Structure 1
Amino acid sequence: MEFIIKAKGHKNVSAKHKTTIEITKEDYLTPTGDCIIGINADKSMLDFPEELKDKIRNAKKIVVEIEVDGVKDIIIGEGNKNLILNHPTDIVIRKSSYICPRTLMIKANKGAKDIDREIVKKLREGKELIFKIKVE
């Protein structure tokens, strides 16, 4: 199953956070938001179909492909039966096992600082971000 979210970059995207990656429906980004790579997302977890939420909770492997202006990067993590998946604005990928309503997946192989720097550069220019969630 695949689910696509579109968001926008912003001049304050720094992608320096060591353990998390976030996209948000919010329309602004301050310099302190060092895990946020996309704003103005067109969907939140409230928009996820229940079938997708069930698959995420039961997934041993979740793949998120991010693409900006033809440049792609892949983040791999896991689901968990305790994922809440209902935050109205934020979607967070975590290297840790911490779970809250914002958490999409845990035990990810990358934080924001690990994202391809060409993608980060393009996000700073305000380019569109395609955030594709694939659950097997």
Structure 2
Amino acid sequence: MEFTIRAKGHKNISATHKTTLEITKEDYLTPTGHCIIGIEANKSMFDFTDEFKEKLRNAKKIIVEIEVEGIKDTIIGEGHKDLILNHPTDIVIRKSNYICPRTLMINANKSAKDINRKIVKKLKEGKKLIFRIKIDD
């Protein structure tokens, strides 16, 4: 099962946060948003079906593939039975096991600072981001 979100970069993207990575539906980014790698996302967790949310909660492995102009990076994490998955604008990947309405997955192997720097450079130029969430059934 897969869910694809499209977003775009912004000149203020730094992608230096050590524990989280985020995309948002918001249309702006301040220089302090160190975990944000994409803005103006075309979908939020509100757009996930109930079936997809349930699969995320039960997933032992969630794969997020990010792609910008053919350059890809992959983040692997896990679900949790307590995931809320209802934030209207933000989707956050966490290296920790902290859960809030913005949390997509926990115990991830990468945060914003770990993303391929070629991707980050393109995002700083405002390029388009494809954010694919995959669950192994």
Place the TM-score, normalised by the shorter chain, in its bin: over 0.9
Aligned pairs, number: 136
TM-score (norm 2): 0.99
Structure 2 distance, partners of 1:135, 1:57, is: 10
- Residue 92 (str. 1) matches residue 96 (str. 2): no
Residue type at the aligned position of 2:85: L
Report the alpha carbon displacement of residue 28 of structure 1 after superposing the two structures with TM: 0.1
Structure 2 distance, partners of 1:59, 1:10, is: 32
Runs of 4+ in 1 over 4 A off after TM superposition: none
Aligned to 1:116: 116
Residue type at the aligned position of 1:36: I
TM-score (norm 1): 1.00
Mapping of 1:40-119 within 5 angstroms? 40-119=40-119
Structure 1 distance, partners of 2:57, 2:21, is: 19
Structure 1 distance, partners of 2:51, 2:118, is: 34
Gaps of 5+ in 2: none
SS of residue in 2 equivalent to 1:76? strand
RMSD: 0.3
Percent identity, aligned pairs only, is 78
Residue type at the aligned position of 2:54: D
Structure 2 distance, partners of 1:84, 1:18, is: 23
